[in-house]
Structure 1
Amino acid sequence: MRDCNIIKDLLPLYKEDLLSNESKTFVEEHLKTCPECENLLNEEIEIESKNTKPLDFVERRIKKETRYFTLAVLALIGSILIFIISYLNTPRHIEYDKDLYKVYRNDKIYTVEFADKVSGIDYTDTEDAIYLDAYSTKYDEIFNKRRLRKSLTFRKENLKTVLYQNHESMPNMVIGSGEIHQTLLPRLFLGFYARLSIIGFIGLTLILFLIEKFRKKAISLPIKTLLIGAPLSLFLGIIAIKGFNTATYYPVTDFKYIVLLSLGIYLFFIFISIFKEQKRM
């Protein structure tokens, strides 16, 4: 019994082959005559073998969480980049002032040259007149202060009246004469898209609620976000770019940046949902 206690203390070292030759021989000789110690050694080897087997479900869980984490990080980085791009490049209308542009004339053409603060010019040609609308961007104001001046050239042959479109007052005459009796009305289609996005958000939320109720099983948060996040992101994108007054004088440009910003908001929602799902897991 006394030898058994010594052997039990030596068994861990014996398994790791850390004993001297004399001690190893002593243990082996004892195991030949002691079934109890031999069984103890076999049990420890079996337990250790079981504990060191790969746990497939743990590996799958780790891989799944790694994918979730990667997707969350990519969604966050993508949303941040889109927010920055949208903020820097969204057009900001410039109301008329006396230094906004100068008109140069010769025998055949008119040239309208705009001030340095102008980043771009929106050009709308109607039956009665041509409307110019200058805007700036934060990108140009911060990073591109030495940009070339913007200018437009008009031939005198059959030239219409050219007006500068103000958003808060009547247009200013750029080329032409007489009184101004007309203005370019803003487009209202963004308001329709905003209402449609809210209807889509409410409708999809109701559908998901009914599915969960009848199936009696919760839908994962990332799946919900993928479905209802799209219309909600579009609505928030419209509000962020245009405010609650959704009238626009830049239908193409505004819609482009609304879609871009909505994508950034959508990716941010996905990041939040994946982060919460991973935390729950």
Structure 2
Amino acid sequence: MDKTCSIVQDLLPLYEEDMLRVETKEFVDGHLAQCAACRAELDALKADVKPAPVSAQPLRDLKRQLRRKKLTAVLLAVTLALTLATAGFAYLTAPQYLPYSETEWAISRSPSALADDGSAADGLSDLSGAESISVSLLVPVSGAEVTNTQDPNSGKTIYFITAWRTPLDTWRGAFDKTGGAPNTHSANDRTQREADALQGVLAKAESARTLFTLDAANCAAVCYSQNNGQDDVLLCGSMNGGIISLPRLALGYYVLLSLALLITLGIAFFACRRKKTGKALGYLALIPASYLAGHLLVKGFTTTSYQMQRDFSLIILAAALIYAAVMLAINLWRQKREKV
């Protein structure tokens, strides 16, 4: 093999890739036209050169990671929005109980009581002979509720009525027309105002009912619970002594239990944070922490409740959303730390 063949064969890989200058390529072309050995070397080079297979798997993995991050971010945003919506709903529908001074009642018994002279008698204190008692609240409210308990002295039932307004109804002007204090009106328009108010009461939806008809057969008394730490007000009937409706205290116990669990699991987490159980303990500690955060969103720093079922349900919902948001945030943070 002469020097020319050696030079040409060294240039053949670049020649095959079309990476030679024009003059050099013309030189190689001229030599290949005359040299069978170099042509054979070029043919062998072409046969050995196979394009490396291109895999699309890295692109698929990248696309999958980006899709997962986007989905996690969307779920996190939705969860945070639902958490804020729950807190807003809890505030806007929180009952604000009316004191007795801001209420006005129309109470009647059936059949009506008669005095000895045959005239109508006041039967509001003596309920004997009455079949039913109609109690109407003549001021608009967001909701009202009737509960009862047994009188230990007479064995009959004592009914408790409570009424409230919500910030949502106040904000949307539901009480603007007749929402003022009843004593601010003159006595001349009282009859017409009561008739209009009672007609409005009858037309209200179930969420704002203000008319009650109670069975008087075993009724000892009907009271209005102000739910403000003051004595309940006797509306009709009679009973010995006064009664104060007290709030439920269970939410305070749940807060103390959550604090105890959080402290215990927190200590265990820091003691085992370098072990496999540390991660599980950290996730468990988020449960009582989420409950405390949910309580703070729904009830603030108040641990008593006059509507235990409502408040506890909202706290559990808020706690679940907060826990889900924290887990999604942790997952999103880990995804961002992953090397693509």
Q: TM-score, normalised by structure 1?
A: 0.70
Q: 1:272 aligns with which of 329, 333, 338?
A: 329
1:194 Cα deviation after fit: 0.5
CA distance in 1, matches of 2:324, 2:138: 38
1:175–1:269 CA distance, 2 compared to 1 (3 A): farther
1:163 matches 2:167: no
Q: Give the match for residue 197 of structure 1.
A: 258
Q: 2:49 aligns with which of 30, 42, 59?
A: 42
SS at 1:198 equivalent: helix
Q: 1:92 aligns with which of 87, 92, 96?
A: 96
One-letter amino acid of the counterpart of residue 272, structure 1: A
Which segments of 5 or more consecutive residues in structure 1 lack a partner in the other structure?
11-25
SS at 2:134 equivalent: strand
How many correspondences in the alignment? 256
1:100 Cα deviation after fit: 4.8
SS at 2:273 equivalent: helix
SS at 1:184 equivalent: coil
Kept after mapping to 2: 8 A contact 1:69/1:274: no
1:151 matches 2:190: no
One-letter amino acid of the counterpart of residue 97, structure 1: S
CA distance in 2, matches of 1:92, 1:132: 14
1:273–1:150 CA distance, 2 compared to 1 (3 A): farther
Kept after mapping to 1: 8 A contact 2:69/2:332: no
1:78 Cα deviation after fit: 3.7
> Highest Rg: 1 or 2?
2
RMSD: 4.0
CA distance in 1, matches of 2:239, 2:294: 41
Kept after mapping to 2: 8 A contact 1:7/1:37: no
Q: 1:212 aligns with which of 268, 273, 279?
A: 273
| CA deviation vs aligned residue, 1:23-44 (integer Å, no higher than 9, x gap) | xxx9xx99956749957x937x
CA distance in 2, matches of 1:6, 1:251: 81
Q: 1:186 aligns with which of 239, 244, 247?
A: 247
1:263–1:135 CA distance, 2 compared to 1 (3 A): farther
One-letter amino acid of the counterpart of residue 199, structure 1: A
1:137 Cα deviation after fit: 3.1
Q: Give the match for residue 14 of structure 1.
A: none
Kept after mapping to 2: 8 A contact 1:165/1:172: yes
1:62 Cα deviation after fit: 4.3
SS at 1:118 equivalent: coil
One-letter amino acid of the counterpart of residue 203, structure 1: T
Which segments of 5 or more consecutive residues in structure 2 lack a partner in the other structure?
1-10, 22-28, 112-130, 152-157, 175-202
One-letter amino acid of the counterpart of residue 261, structure 2: G
Q: Give the match for residue 174 of structure 1.
A: 235
CA distance in 2, matches of 1:269, 1:244: 22
Q: 1:236 aligns with which of 284, 288, 293?
A: 293
Kept after mapping to 2: 8 A contact 1:119/1:140: yes
1:133 matches 2:133: no
Higher helix share: 1
Map 1:220-231 → 2, pairs under 5 A: 226-231=283-288
Kept after mapping to 1: 8 A contact 2:80/2:322: no
1:8 matches 2:37: no
1:196 Cα deviation after fit: 0.2
Q: Give the match for residue 147 of structure 2.
A: 124
1:105 Cα deviation after fit: 3.8
| CA deviation vs aligned residue, 1:186-209 (integer Å, no higher than 9, x gap) | 221211110001111122222332
